[in-house]
Structure 1
């Protein structure tokens, strides 16, 4: 799964990587992004790529209650095309979620040790996502999204058996194109990342609390006393 990530790039880096027009969105580093928070995603509903804010936890357009979003922070790549909560968005409303790195946990000596996963060569990850627009009976509206996950590759598997789906720049156009709608076209994009694309190291357990948000959370502690004592 993917239940926590961070984004600490500059706006010009993000615009360049995703081929965006200049954005008016204010971007500041966030080191501990958690479900139910607002996150950034790139979509192209009318052909041009745009950056917008979305609630993390997808709320299907047909949902009676927004609380369903607590259960839909991730969608399994293997079944996303057929699950009722995701199949319409998979067909018509796909997005890319900028990510500098993500966190996973491994139980070591009865302690859940967090690890940070970062790209080895790309400036950032582009996570495959879906988005929805929801409105309740009072007219209140929420744009929401989910992150697709699949089987871990050999870089991530020693820590966790699942990982977010990372798309390559050559796949962005196809994934974002609302005219592309068949599973035969889309599912092949959700392939496992190649070995060597992701690096990882242990980080402070302070990341366990979503209330903590600072650059110390992504520091490598493999040589620190804190890690040697786990």
Structure 2
């Protein structure tokens, strides 16, 4: 499950880290700033690899370009009548995405990486929920597997297509299982090129849960219940706190159904 994450690096820094070009200026949505509480329907940075096109829209199939783009989190299938459906399609299960009409075409042709400082998960303990921030111990961005899609209004009222994305999730591995039974599908650097390859329509080998070695490099950090409220977006959300019962003023229902 991934219903909230942190992404604080600039598009330029992401481009350097992922060996891409910063193409956010080409996106219809403005590039987001540092956000410690990324929630569904917000704009997010995504890394894609596509065949470049000339002024007439003809693709150069002899080469590809890896770039950083802006998308809205919550996938809207091309056949949807209303973009509001995206708020319910924030995750695509690795085990079933190839069979689901909403994700099937995107998984085959439009995969992306969603860079993240880390993601949040909640573990229930009696009547309270303890939030955790799961992040890389080395400070490098985590590359969450994603799929993306174009959507245009059925009446042709949108000048630019809406580009949306969903996080691919998988079974939790190792200590992650103590918090939640699902986690984002993390793609190791050695597999970035294969996942992003626009000409590869079979990626079943990459849909397996992350290796124990990759998961061993993650830190599980107890954090404040301030993250429960999507209006809170500051760096204090990722600071470690003791896993104690939250004060009454922070004992609240999550703003999103996680």
Normalising by structure 1, report the TM-score. 0.91
**Separation in structure 1 between the aligned mates of residue 139 and residue 234 of structure 2, nearest angstrom:** 23
- Counterpart for residue 229 of structure 1: 245
**Separation in structure 1 between the aligned mates of residue 11 and residue 105 of structure 2, nearest angstrom:** 31
Normalising by structure 2, report the TM-score. 0.82
Deviation of 1:45 (Å): 2.0
After superposition, the Cα gap between the structure-2 partners of 1:121 and 1:194, relative to the gap in structure 1 and judged at 3 Å, is farther
- Counterpart for residue 107 of structure 1: 124
Among 75, 82, 90, the alignment partner of 2:107 is: 90
- Give the SS at the match of 1:181: coil
Counterparts in 2 of 1:45-64, with a 5 A limit? 45-46=50-51, 47-64=64-81
- Counterpart for residue 120 of structure 1: 137
CA offsets, 1:87-129, max 9 Å, x none?
0001111100010100000111311111000012360101100
**Separation in structure 1 between the aligned mates of residue 80 and residue 211 of structure 2, nearest angstrom:** 36
* Unaligned 5+ runs, structure 2: 26-30, 52-63, 247-258
Moved over 4 A (4+): 22-27
Deviation of 1:228 (Å): 2.7
**Separation in structure 1 between the aligned mates of residue 157 and residue 194 of structure 2, nearest angstrom:** 33
In angstroms, what is the RMSD of aligned CA positions? 1.6
**Separation in structure 2 between the aligned mates of residue 163 and residue 135 of structure 1, nearest angstrom:** 31
In the alignment, is residue 155 of structure 1 matched against residue 155 of structure 2?
Answer: no
CA offsets, 1:109-164, max 9 Å, x none?
31111100001236010110000110001332311000000000113111111000
**Separation in structure 1 between the aligned mates of residue 125 and residue 73 of structure 2, nearest angstrom:** 29
Aligned length: 223
CA offsets, 1:158-211, max 9 Å, x none?
1111000000111111111111012xxx02112222330321111110100111
After superposition, the Cα gap between the structure-2 partners of 1:205 and 1:78, relative to the gap in structure 1 and judged at 3 Å, is same
Counterparts in 2 of 1:33-52, with a 5 A limit? 33-46=38-51, 47-52=64-69
Among 148, 153, 156, the alignment partner of 1:138 is: 156
- Counterpart for residue 3 of structure 2: 3
- Counterpart for residue 180 of structure 1: 200
Contact persistence 1:21–1:50 (CA under 8 A): yes
Contact persistence 1:98–1:126 (CA under 8 A): yes
Higher alpha-carbon Rg: 2
After superposition, the Cα gap between the structure-2 partners of 1:197 and 1:155, relative to the gap in structure 1 and judged at 3 Å, is farther
* Unaligned 5+ runs, structure 1: none
